[in-house]
Amino acid sequence: MAAASAGPALDDATIVAIFDAANSADIETGQLAAEQGSSKEVRDFGAMLVHDHRSVRQSGRDLAQRLGVTPTPPAGDASAATHAQAMAALRSLRGPAFDKAFLEHEVAFHQGVIDAVQSTLLPAIQNADLKQLVVDVAPAFEAHRLAAANLRGKLD
Protein backbone atom coordinates (compact mmCIF):
# COMPACT_ATOMS: atom_id res chain seq x y z
CA MET A 1 0.00 0.00 0.00
CA ALA A 2 2.94 2.35 0.45
CA ALA A 3 3.18 2.84 -3.31
CA ALA A 4 -0.32 4.27 -3.26
CA SER A 5 0.84 7.29 -1.30
CA ALA A 6 3.50 8.38 -3.79
CA GLY A 7 3.18 9.85 -7.25
CA PRO A 8 0.42 11.69 -9.04
CA ALA A 9 -3.04 12.36 -7.69
CA LEU A 10 -5.20 9.26 -7.52
CA ASP A 11 -8.49 8.90 -9.34
CA ASP A 12 -11.38 6.62 -8.38
CA ALA A 13 -10.38 3.91 -10.91
CA THR A 14 -6.93 3.70 -9.33
CA ILE A 15 -8.36 3.69 -5.82
CA VAL A 16 -10.73 0.84 -6.75
CA ALA A 17 -7.73 -1.12 -8.06
CA ILE A 18 -5.74 -0.47 -4.88
CA PHE A 19 -8.71 -1.48 -2.73
CA ASP A 20 -9.18 -4.66 -4.78
CA ALA A 21 -5.49 -5.55 -4.63
CA ALA A 22 -5.31 -5.07 -0.86
CA ASN A 23 -8.30 -7.34 -0.32
CA SER A 24 -6.97 -9.93 -2.78
CA ALA A 25 -3.59 -9.96 -1.05
CA ASP A 26 -5.12 -10.61 2.34
CA ILE A 27 -7.37 -13.32 0.94
CA GLU A 28 -4.26 -15.13 -0.27
CA THR A 29 -2.43 -14.59 3.02
CA GLY A 30 -5.46 -15.72 5.00
CA GLN A 31 -5.80 -18.86 2.88
CA LEU A 32 -2.19 -19.73 3.61
CA ALA A 33 -2.75 -19.28 7.35
CA ALA A 34 -5.93 -21.36 7.25
CA GLU A 35 -3.93 -24.19 5.69
CA GLN A 36 -0.52 -23.77 7.34
CA GLY A 37 -1.18 -22.25 10.75
CA SER A 38 0.09 -24.39 13.61
CA SER A 39 -2.64 -23.34 16.02
CA LYS A 40 -6.39 -23.52 15.62
CA GLU A 41 -6.61 -19.82 16.50
CA VAL A 42 -4.30 -18.85 13.63
CA ARG A 43 -6.09 -21.16 11.18
CA ASP A 44 -9.46 -19.73 12.26
CA PHE A 45 -8.16 -16.17 11.99
CA GLY A 46 -6.87 -16.91 8.48
CA ALA A 47 -10.25 -18.33 7.47
CA MET A 48 -12.00 -15.25 8.88
CA LEU A 49 -9.69 -12.99 6.84
CA VAL A 50 -10.55 -14.92 3.69
CA HIS A 51 -14.28 -14.63 4.37
CA ASP A 52 -14.23 -10.95 5.33
CA HIS A 53 -11.93 -9.78 2.55
CA ARG A 54 -13.79 -11.76 -0.13
CA SER A 55 -16.98 -10.02 0.93
CA VAL A 56 -15.38 -6.57 0.94
CA ARG A 57 -13.58 -7.20 -2.37
CA GLN A 58 -16.86 -8.27 -3.97
CA SER A 59 -18.60 -5.16 -2.66
CA GLY A 60 -15.88 -3.04 -4.26
CA ARG A 61 -16.13 -4.93 -7.54
CA ASP A 62 -19.92 -4.65 -7.56
CA LEU A 63 -19.71 -0.92 -6.92
CA ALA A 64 -17.10 -0.44 -9.65
CA GLN A 65 -19.32 -2.28 -12.11
CA ARG A 66 -22.39 -0.26 -11.09
CA LEU A 67 -20.42 2.98 -11.52
CA GLY A 68 -18.81 1.87 -14.78
CA VAL A 69 -15.33 2.25 -13.28
CA THR A 70 -12.56 0.05 -14.65
CA PRO A 71 -9.95 -0.56 -11.94
CA THR A 72 -6.60 0.83 -13.07
CA PRO A 73 -3.58 -0.11 -10.96
CA PRO A 74 -1.26 2.80 -10.17
CA ALA A 75 1.84 3.13 -12.33
CA GLY A 76 4.95 1.86 -10.61
CA ASP A 77 3.01 0.17 -7.82
CA ALA A 78 5.28 -2.29 -6.02
CA SER A 79 2.61 -3.80 -3.77
CA ALA A 80 2.27 -7.00 -5.84
CA ALA A 81 6.01 -7.64 -5.63
CA THR A 82 6.03 -6.87 -1.91
CA HIS A 83 3.12 -9.26 -1.38
CA ALA A 84 4.85 -12.00 -3.40
CA GLN A 85 7.95 -11.63 -1.22
CA ALA A 86 5.87 -11.82 1.96
CA MET A 87 4.07 -14.93 0.70
CA ALA A 88 7.36 -16.62 -0.21
CA ALA A 89 8.75 -15.88 3.24
CA LEU A 90 5.60 -17.17 4.95
CA ARG A 91 5.48 -20.32 2.81
CA SER A 92 9.02 -21.16 3.95
CA LEU A 93 8.01 -21.25 7.63
CA ARG A 94 6.35 -23.95 9.69
CA GLY A 95 4.89 -24.30 13.16
CA PRO A 96 5.02 -21.46 15.69
CA ALA A 97 7.52 -19.57 13.50
CA PHE A 98 4.87 -19.38 10.77
CA ASP A 99 2.19 -18.26 13.22
CA LYS A 100 4.40 -15.50 14.60
CA ALA A 101 5.52 -14.23 11.18
CA PHE A 102 1.99 -14.40 9.78
CA LEU A 103 0.52 -12.41 12.67
CA GLU A 104 3.30 -9.82 12.52
CA HIS A 105 2.66 -9.50 8.78
CA GLU A 106 -1.06 -9.03 9.38
CA VAL A 107 -0.51 -6.29 11.96
CA ALA A 108 1.84 -4.43 9.61
CA PHE A 109 -0.31 -5.04 6.52
CA HIS A 110 -3.49 -3.79 8.13
CA GLN A 111 -1.71 -0.78 9.63
CA GLY A 112 -0.36 0.05 6.18
CA VAL A 113 -3.85 -0.16 4.70
CA ILE A 114 -5.31 1.98 7.47
CA ASP A 115 -2.59 4.59 7.02
CA ALA A 116 -3.05 4.67 3.23
CA VAL A 117 -6.83 4.94 3.55
CA GLN A 118 -6.66 7.81 6.02
CA SER A 119 -3.83 9.80 4.50
CA THR A 120 -4.13 9.14 0.78
CA LEU A 121 -7.15 7.22 -0.45
CA LEU A 122 -10.08 8.84 1.37
CA PRO A 123 -8.98 12.40 0.59
CA ALA A 124 -8.62 11.50 -3.11
CA ILE A 125 -11.95 9.68 -3.60
CA GLN A 126 -14.36 11.67 -5.74
CA ASN A 127 -17.39 9.37 -5.85
CA ALA A 128 -19.60 9.51 -2.74
CA ASP A 129 -20.57 5.82 -2.97
CA LEU A 130 -16.96 4.71 -3.20
CA LYS A 131 -16.03 6.95 -0.28
CA GLN A 132 -18.88 5.51 1.76
CA LEU A 133 -17.78 1.94 1.01
CA VAL A 134 -14.24 2.68 2.17
CA VAL A 135 -15.51 4.46 5.29
CA ASP A 136 -17.86 1.55 6.04
CA VAL A 137 -15.15 -1.12 5.84
CA ALA A 138 -12.42 0.85 7.64
CA PRO A 139 -13.44 -0.45 11.10
CA ALA A 140 -12.99 -4.04 9.86
CA PHE A 141 -9.39 -3.31 8.87
CA GLU A 142 -8.76 -1.96 12.36
CA ALA A 143 -10.50 -4.97 13.93
CA HIS A 144 -8.30 -7.32 11.89
CA ARG A 145 -5.18 -5.41 12.95
CA LEU A 146 -6.18 -5.62 16.62
CA ALA A 147 -7.09 -9.31 16.38
CA ALA A 148 -3.72 -10.11 14.81
CA ALA A 149 -1.90 -8.09 17.48
CA ASN A 150 -3.85 -9.82 20.26
CA LEU A 151 -3.15 -13.28 18.84
CA ARG A 152 0.50 -12.36 18.40
CA GLY A 153 0.66 -11.32 22.04
CA LYS A 154 -0.62 -14.73 23.13
CA LEU A 155 2.32 -16.43 21.41
CA ASP A 156 4.91 -14.80 23.69
Distance, in Å, from the CA atom of 140 to the CA atom of 110, rounded to the nearest integer, reads 10
Identify whether the C-beta of residue 61 lies closer than 8 Å to the C-beta of residue 19: no
pLDDT at 3 over 60: no
33 vs 38: CA distance, rounded Å? 9
| Cα–Cα distance measured from residue 117 to residue 12, given in angstroms and rounded to the nearest whole number | 13
Query: Does residue 1 carry a pLDDT above 90?
Result: no
Would you place residue 42 in the very low, low, confident or very high pLDDT band (cuts 50, 70, 90)? very high
- Give the model's pLDDT for residue 15: 93
Computed over every residue of the chain, the mean pLDDT equals 91
Collapsing DSSP states into helix, strand and coil, what is residue 126? coil
Using the predicted structure, report yes or no on whether residue 11 has a pLDDT greater than 50. Answer: yes
| Residues 109-113, mean pLDDT to the nearest whole number | 94
Residues 6+ apart with CB under 8 A from 154: 41
Closest by CA to 106, choosing from 70, 150, 136, is 150
Domain ranges in the chain are 7-155
Q: What is the DSSP letter of 92?
A: T
CATH number of 7-155: 1.20.1260.10
pLDDT band at 9 (very low <50, low <70, confident <90, very high): low
Whole-angstrom Cα Rg for the chain: 15
Stated length of the chain: 156
